[in-house]
Structure 1
Amino acid sequence: MHNKRIYIPVLLLLVMMTGSCKKFLTQNPLAEVAESQFFKSKYDVDASISGMYRLFQDQMVGDAQYKDRYHIWGEHRSDNFERFLSYTTNQVNEITLNGLTPDNEFASWTGLYSVIARANVNIKKVAGAAAFDSRVTKEVIDKAQAESYAMRAMAYFYIVRVWGAAPVWTEPFESLSDSSMRSREPASKIIDEVIIKDLEKAYALTLKAQTPTVWYMGEGAICALMADVYMWKKDYPNAIIWIQNLFKAKAPTGKVYGGNLVTDLQPTATWKNMFTAPASSIESIWTLDWTFAASGCACMSISYTPNNKQYIIGLEMWQNWFLPYQNTLPLPDIRVRQTHDVWQNNRDKFIKYYASPANPTASYTFPATPEEIPAYVTMYRLGDMYLLYAEALNGNNDLAGALKYLNFIRKRAGVPEYVAGDPLVATKEAMEDAILQERQYELYGEGKRWFDLVRTNHVQKVMDPVLKRRQLAAGSDQVGFPDLRKVLWPLNRSVLNANKKLVQNPSYAD
């Protein structure tokens, strides 16, 4: 028994450092962990926080090839990408044709609850390390707890956007008698009573006006996430407040974001640096760090991979934005050819993550060992927040302010700015459509498009004709997107089997 009590903390540490996606509902309770063997030094605190980030990174980038939920949840149900007919799978067909079933592996929230479980442990336990190590100061504890509250909020925000109602755990398992069976709480309750409150705690614990590390959730990331949450609620006044709080924070370069000028954004000439060197970008807020040395190939569904792709650029996006740039010189929109190799007609060569010429005139060639190129996955950046700010201002009936921030993005991209009175931005509804379109271009491949469509109630408007075209090509009934309940994913069968108090989302019940 003594050996077991020593072994389990070591195993816990290894799980946290390697990012194993062990099921949250079947983890060992903390009562079985000899606490005297863990959380007794600053090293333990740092390892625990790093493990929490690694678990989240594995969910987003993927713990294996084509497991990047960042794109699967945030992009692949939208018009940005569609199945590559030659290499598709049943799961890909379900995602791109609006035919999700409870058997789809990406319908499981288990990995996100693993992140939540680590955050719960950190919030409750890191302070105890101060009794063993004088380096565990109040500042160290506050920072660790702030990041844990913020990460827990991020995980729950993904859960409510993807599945809606969900069980809530805010305490670690500490006894074998703790039940792993809980019913789902309404999404609105989780947002108001867990996510927002966690972010308020995180913000209060965070030292202000500090230069952050781009790989961690600092002041700017907390503000950006809070604004995103309030936009999901359509609470525009609070979203505006939190974006303005973000503008007061510092970028990883040490520059205050400012948020008042186009020059507060990454310059046109170095636009690509946000993705290839985010730590040196004045626009970066929070980015996931995936390097070959630490994690192996970032073989995501749209990035470089030695195998055939299952997803390609959506046909409408290809025809409207990418294809015209095969022959257009000079280049009016600097983003297009730096996002995808437009001369690659298979539509499967996404290059936004990789260093490439600012104004290429020929097809992109990967280096000799492309699997070793780091993939820095953007969670939040200032351009994203400018457009979200424009949307919030528009929602708050400030069309002039919305136009200003929309035009900042267009000016930086090198495309003509809208003028007041242009029918494309003259009304609140037209302005919302223009901002949504600009977000599609600016943030293509950044895990935003599907959530944008859901948040703005544009799913049926945008996806119905797209899906009918895809369904016709697949030889299936052309139903489009008839049931808005299917905006949510089903719960995977394994999730339902692990917690008998769960009820399947309505449109997926057997």
Structure 2
Amino acid sequence: MRNRFSFIILLTITCSVLSCKKTLTTDVTSLVPEANMWQVKNDARSAVFATYGLLRAALANSNAFMAYGELRGGDFRISSRQDLNAVLSNNLNANYSALEEWKDWQRFYAVIAQANLCIEKLQLVSKNDFRYRPEDLKLDIANIRYLRALTYFYLARIWGDVPLITTNAAGYFKGLPATPQATVLAFAANEAAAAVTDLPWRYDGTWPEQQGNYWNQNDDYWHSTVGTKASCYALLAHIAAWQQDYAMTEKYCRLVMDNSGNGGYTVATTSQLTAEDGVFKGKGLDVIFSLSFSADYQEASVSGHVEDWTLSEPFVPKKTADIYVPKDSVLAIFDEAGDERFSLNQDGTSSGNFFTNFNNSAPMFSKIKVRAITQAPVLRSYESAIIIFRYEEIILLRAAAAIRINDVSHAQDYLNMIRSQRGLGNLASKDGNEILSYILKERRRELLGEGWRWFDLVQFKQVAAYTTLSQTDVDNGATLWPVSKSALANNPTLIQNNFWKK
């Protein structure tokens, strides 16, 4: 199954493009007419993994994953690129091509269109090819529903109210108004809850939901790259937190943690977190779900990776990194002695691999550095996965949920699980508000550069405290992204998000 995502997109992308007509445009080099699809078992494989590939394309597009989840959070500074600086300064209506890409939700709706198409058409394969068993159909549909739920979760967090399209026939949504964010989140939660029933904990052939090898590959091949019960519960936990239903957040996090043995998850060591062949290659035992770029399947690339913005010499032949964390910010974030991620020694030297060349004016963020090694001349190419959910993040999410339901003791226990793994001592007993502040700080340290910081500030209601946006801006809708000009032009029923009506 060479190149698990990339080449199969070309087999089914026509279906997505035709379904959305002029509202979605995707350049392709090879097209297969829809009439020739849905005939044999391999058509189902192509359709399912095209959906995964489209989601990867949406989040990797011009490093959108970082633009949405990290840049606005304020921890990183920009060396020279004015388009990135516009995001950092919340000037999202600035005239840069990258901003126009990020404001346009068409790539996410390509995922939705493909998912809707699969849900409608995969059953045809079951009828046309006896090798595609009912249990295969059920498992593939569960994967698709998980992806549809995850995609709508991104859409709702980034843009708020968005069109909710649930059928292939509704793919052309020129006159479809936006659906309230709360309704979209509820739909995503229902989809994830439906998917979890038919997904296994692992793809090792021992679970009733999945027997034998999934698409002729073993569990190691599929680790973290397809939907599982744990990835659905992680998604459900985050949706519940966004809905401020913290009892449900705690419940879903508990299901992940209580079944860590079934899923094969454990907390990564700090060395695994920063190793080139560790967590961010997508195969770490703490990784619950990721979108991979494995060089083994010719998926390594330059763009779409955090390293393209953060690394420079000596790791890659690039003089200056595009973004960096200033020294004063590093010291404010990592302010406890003994932190294995980064700490400053008494003699002024630093320890830990989150940063390189700390004494330079712009320390290099080197936590994530999964380079694809090529023959001379060396090419700047990376194979780091986009990590969507990992075990440590879920533990910290559970800690935050426990505080909100007044379970301070357990919240502190979960927080200390991460602290102790990173070389820090257990916190002494503190009140709930103090613990919540420590949880936000620990998420800042542990998840730096992983696309969580901005969403954490929004969810913890701390945007005004850590960014240039005022609380009045926040109340006026500044945390959302503006809807693109092309989306507004194609669909006259849409309304620009309030803060960006300028």
TM-score by length of 1: 0.79
Structure 1 partner of 2:292: 289
Per the TM alignment, residue 145 of structure 1 is displaced from its structure 2 partner at its CA by 1.0
Per the TM alignment, residue 494 of structure 1 is displaced from its structure 2 partner at its CA by 1.1
SS in 1 for 2:91: coil
- 1:126–1:141 CA contact under 8 A, matched in 2: yes
Q: 1:72 aligns with which of 60, 67, 73?
A: 67
Structure 1 partner of 2:149: 153
Structure 1 partner of 2:458: 454
- 2:290–2:389 CA contact under 8 A, matched in 1: yes
Q: 2:481 aligns with which of 472, 486, 489?
A: 489
Match for 2:345: what amino acid?
A: T
Q: Is residue 2:231 matched to residue 1:215?
A: no
RMSD (CA atoms): 3.4
SS in 2 for 1:173: helix
- 2:299–2:383 CA contact under 8 A, matched in 1: no
Q: 1:265 aligns with which of 246, 251, 267?
A: 267
- 1:61–1:69 CA contact under 8 A, matched in 2: yes
Change (3 A) 1:277 1:17: farther
Q: Is residue 2:345 matched to residue 1:328?
A: yes
Per the TM alignment, residue 509 of structure 1 is displaced from its structure 2 partner at its CA by 1.2
Paired residues in the alignment total 447
- 2:293–2:383 CA contact under 8 A, matched in 1: yes
Q: 2:407 aligns with which of 398, 408, 411?
A: 398
Match for 2:180: what amino acid?
A: P
Per the TM alignment, residue 337 of structure 1 is displaced from its structure 2 partner at its CA by 3.0
Change (3 A) 1:33 1:265: closer
Match for 2:177: what amino acid?
A: S
Per the TM alignment, residue 433 of structure 1 is displaced from its structure 2 partner at its CA by 0.9
SS in 2 for 1:46: helix
Match for 1:68: what amino acid?
A: N
Change (3 A) 1:115 1:314: farther
- Alpha-carbon separation, structure 1, partners of 2:327 and 2:155: 29
Change (3 A) 1:275 1:208: closer
SS in 2 for 1:182: coil
Q: Is residue 2:343 matched to residue 1:338?
A: no
Structure 1 partner of 2:197: 204
- Alpha-carbon separation, structure 1, partners of 2:333 and 2:451: 18
Q: Is residue 2:23 matched to residue 1:25?
A: yes
Q: 1:13 aligns with which of 11, 14, 22?
A: 11
- Alpha-carbon separation, structure 2, partners of 1:249 and 1:389: 14
- 1:52–1:118 CA contact under 8 A, matched in 2: yes
SS in 2 for 1:338: coil
Q: 1:502 aligns with which of 491, 494, 497?
A: 494
Per the TM alignment, residue 100 of structure 1 is displaced from its structure 2 partner at its CA by 1.9
Structure 2 partner of 1:352: 367
Match for 1:294: what amino acid?
A: E
Match for 2:268: what amino acid?
A: Q
Change (3 A) 1:268 1:26: closer
Structure 1 partner of 2:47: 48
Q: Is residue 2:339 matched to residue 1:318?
A: no
- Alpha-carbon separation, structure 2, partners of 1:102 and 1:504: 15
Percent identity reads 22
Match for 1:302: what amino acid?
A: W
Change (3 A) 1:348 1:68: farther
Per the TM alignment, residue 58 of structure 1 is displaced from its structure 2 partner at its CA by 1.5
Q: What does the per-residue CA deviation read over 1:366-390, in whole Å, with 9 as the maximum and x for residues that have no partner?
A: x973624421221111000000010
Per the TM alignment, residue 316 of structure 1 is displaced from its structure 2 partner at its CA by 4.7
Q: What does the per-residue CA deviation read over 1:464-505, in whole Å, with 9 as the maximum and x for residues that have no partner?
A: xxx3xxxxxxxxxxx756411211111111111111100011
- Alpha-carbon separation, structure 1, partners of 2:227 and 2:457: 26
- 1:236–1:395 CA contact under 8 A, matched in 2: yes
- Alpha-carbon separation, structure 1, partners of 2:175 and 2:426: 54
Structure 2 partner of 1:144: 140
Match for 1:40: what amino acid?
A: Q
Q: What does the per-residue CA deviation read over 1:405-454, in whole Å, with 9 as the maximum and x for residues that have no partner?
A: 1001000000122011xxxxx22221111100000000001100000000
- Alpha-carbon separation, structure 2, partners of 1:172 and 1:210: 29
Q: Is residue 2:157 matched to residue 1:167?
A: no
- Alpha-carbon separation, structure 1, partners of 2:344 and 2:17: 45
SS in 2 for 1:375: coil
Change (3 A) 1:393 1:495: same
Match for 2:400: what amino acid?
A: E
Q: Is residue 2:392 matched to residue 1:383?
A: yes
| Pairs within 5 Å for 1:105-144 | 105=100, 106-144=102-140
Per the TM alignment, residue 147 of structure 1 is displaced from its structure 2 partner at its CA by 1.3
Match for 1:75: what amino acid?
A: E
Match for 1:282: what amino acid?
A: L
- Alpha-carbon separation, structure 2, partners of 1:37 and 1:11: 15
Greater Cα shift, 370-379 or 232-241: 370-379
Change (3 A) 1:395 1:97: same
Change (3 A) 1:52 1:16: farther
| Pairs within 5 Å for 1:402-413 | 402-413=411-422
Match for 1:354: what amino acid?
A: K
- 1:41–1:129 CA contact under 8 A, matched in 2: yes
Q: What does the per-residue CA deviation read over 1:132-158, in whole Å, with 9 as the maximum and x for residues that have no partner?
A: 222211221112111111111111111
Match for 2:285: what amino acid?
A: I
SS in 1 for 2:292: strand
Structure 2 partner of 1:183: 177
SS in 2 for 1:379: strand
Change (3 A) 1:59 1:409: same
Change (3 A) 1:401 1:500: same
Q: What does the per-residue CA deviation read over 1:224-246, in whole Å, with 9 as the maximum and x for residues that have no partner?
A: 11111111111111111111222
Unmatched 5+ residue regions in structure 2? 1-7, 205-218
Q: Is residue 2:436 matched to residue 1:432?
A: yes
Q: Is residue 2:421 matched to residue 1:416?
A: no
- Alpha-carbon separation, structure 1, partners of 2:60 and 2:235: 19
- Alpha-carbon separation, structure 2, partners of 1:11 and 1:454: 34
- Alpha-carbon separation, structure 1, partners of 2:88 and 2:443: 20
Structure 1 partner of 2:211: none
